[in-house]
Amino acid sequence: MDSVLRAAAVYLILLIIMRIAGKRTLAQITVFDFILLLIIGEATQQALLAEDFSIINSALVIATLVLLDIVLAMLKQRSKTLDRIIDDAPVVIVENGRLLRDRMDRSRIDEQDILVAARELHGLERLDQIKYAVLERSGGISIVPAGSAQST
Amino acid sequence: MPQPRSSPEAQLGLPEYRGHSPAEKIAFAALVSFIVAALLGLFGDGPLSDTKASSADGRIQVQYQRFCRRLAPQSLDITLATPPGSEAIELNIDGDYLRSVQITEVFPEPVTAMHQHTGRMRFRTDGSGRDMIVRVHLKPQRAGLLAARLSTGPPSQASTVELKQLAYP
């Protein structure tokens, strides 16, 4: 019983912390962000397993986390509000080469982040080559290059 | 309203894909059952696991978990009836059980402890005749069925309680 409750509590705490931290924290944008994620993982492992290193405890913790994730996905499918609360929504941060500063500030993104994504994904060099840049729910930035076909 | 037919490209994988197969549903039910069983205490602490055993004369009682896990901390709460005026009381734990577990802490600390076939701990009492509670923290060192015999009092009039635990790997 203890293992299941502990796993559920850690899941909930991580969900809240990651939501507060924002999308970009999980995007592994810098080496330090990556290290931070590793440290969070290590701290979480301690909380999940405590001193119990039995196989059955690991199985219980994994099963609880997976089950909670499935249940939450099902709930998100049924409730758009919950979906929005937990995963947020994609947001356009560049429109036709113009930076949308207020949205960028809210998501703690600067111009360099967008240009990095533009170079890596499409080999673009300047902002005016970007039609749309979108901060996705995953925390990644997707780029629609200027001159690409308009969707209907 | 019927949906428009999708393009041939969108049919990729569809002949094999049929949504949630019976096997997936069974696996999901098994996952839920596993968690519910754990919450009830089938794999450790919980209402199905917590139990109590007592000697015939009630002089020794043990609260323990029927189901435990190898290398996971657990405890035995042992209640000993102490005769009024006595200065010490002994608790004996059989050697087979002691070989299967690692005792990490005993509270209160015994005055003496020895292990010769049987583990014998001697505790100081205040002589008031009130019950004494001894908590033994331990970790099972092997998986499987663990049987323990605990006793108190002189060998000729020993009060004995037996318990069995299932240690999961």
Q: Which residues pair with B68 in a beta bridge?
A: B167
Q: What is the pLDDT of residue B58?
A: 87
CB pairs under 8 A between A and B: 55
Q: Could you say which DSSP state residue A127 is in?
A: G
A27/B contact by beta carbon, under 8 A: no
The whole-number pLDDT of residue A86 equals 82
Please count the other Cβ atoms lying within 10 Å of the Cβ belonging to residue A103.
Answer: 15
Determine whether the interchain pair A60/B35 forms a contact, defined as Cβ–Cβ distance below 8 Å: yes
Q: Do B72 and A57 touch (CB under 8 A)?
A: yes
CA distance A92 to A99: 9
For residue A132, is pLDDT > 80? yes
Confidence of residue B2 (pLDDT cuts 50, 70, 90): low
**Strands of B67-69's sheet, edge to edge?**
B67-69, B159-168, B144-152, B88-94, B118-124, B112-116
Average pLDDT over every residue of B134-151 = 93
Q: What percent of chain A has pLDDT over 90?
A: 24
Give the pLDDT of residue B13.
63
Q: A74 burial class (0-12, 13-18, 19+ CB within 10 angstroms)?
A: exposed
Give me the residue from A51, A60, A70 closest to B43, CB to CB.
A60
Residue A35 has pLDDT above 90, yes or no: no
Q: Which helix (H) or strand (E) holds A145?
A: strand A141-145
Contact A60 B71 (CB under 8 A): no
Residues of chain A found within 8 Å of residue B46, distances taken between Cβ atoms: 1
Q: pTM to 2 decimals?
A: 0.74
Query: pLDDT (tens digit, 9 = 90+) per residue, B6-50?
Result: 676 666 666 666 666 788 889 889 999 999 999 999 998 889 999
For testing the chain A interface, which of B35, B36, B139, B168 should be mutated: the one with the most A CBs within 10 Å? B35
Q: What is the pLDDT of residues B43-92, one digit of tens each?
A: 988 899 999 999 988 889 999 999 999 999 999 999 998 888 888 899 99
User: Could you report the per-residue pLDDT of B110-131, keeping only the tens digit for each?
Assistant: 998 888 778 889 999 888 888 8
**A54 and B73 in contact by Cβ < 8 A?**
no
The whole-angstrom distance between A59's CA and the closest CA on chain B is 10
Q: Kindly report the average pLDDT of chain A as a whole number.
A: 85
Kindly list the residues from chain A whose CB atom is less than 8 angstroms away from the CB atom of residue B32.
Answer: 67
pLDDT score, position A151 = 45
A6 in contact with B at a CB cutoff of 8 Å? no
The answer on pLDDT for A10 being more than 90 is: yes
CB distance A1 to B46 below 8 Å: yes
Range B74-101 burial, b when 16+ CB lie within 10 A, else e: bebebbbbbeeeeeebbbbbbeebbebb
The pLDDT of residue A21: 77
Best of B20, B33, B34, B48 to disrupt the A interface by mutation (most A CBs within 10 Å)? B34
Classify burial at B140, counting beta carbons within 10 Å of its beta carbon; exposed 0-12, middle 13-18, buried 19 or more.
Answer: buried
Residue A87 contacts B, CB cutoff 8 Å: no
Q: Measured between alpha carbons, how far is B165 from B146 in angstroms, rounded to an integer?
A: 5
Residue B155 DSSP class: G
Token pair of B100, please?
A: 């299967």
